[in-house]
Amino acid sequence: MGASNKRKPQPSSVSIGVKIASAEAAQIRELIEAGVYLNESDFVRDAIRHRLSEIKIIKCRDVDFQTAKKEILGYYRSRGEAYPDEAARDLELDFDLVMRVTGELRQEGRLVEA
């Protein structure tokens, strides 16, 4: 008999312990006493959700110049107007690459600024 290939289910939540300054703890207690939060855990969960919503990981695919050029041209044809940073984000391409490609497309007359 071999080892089981069954994976254990992941817990729906985990506990994380942190230490904070006493002044910060006092501020959190004031918020709880004012009814803004139910307890310390409620505050921490809200703070984590808020911070995670502010941080975005930008993924960049590794593509050659010609592939990027085709994708970017198709992007602008289907989308119409967009800033280069939007194209970079949506296509997951390096911003500098998008700038070089859009510059070349403008020189060729295949892309015009709005």
Q: What is the per-residue burial (b if ≥16 Cβ within 10 Å, else e) of 25-49? A: eeebeeeeeeeebeeeeebeeeeee
Q: pLDDT digits over 54-96, tens only?
A: 987 878 999 999 999 999 999 999 998 999 999 999 999 999 9
Note whether 92 and 61 are within 8 A (CB).
Answer: yes
Centroid of chain to Cα 39 = 29
What are 7-53's pLDDT values in tens digits? Answer: 777 788 899 899 999 999 999 999 999 999 999 999 999 999 999 99
Helices (H), 13-64: 22-33, 40-54
Give the H/E segment covering residue 89: helix 84-91
Full-model pTM: 0.55
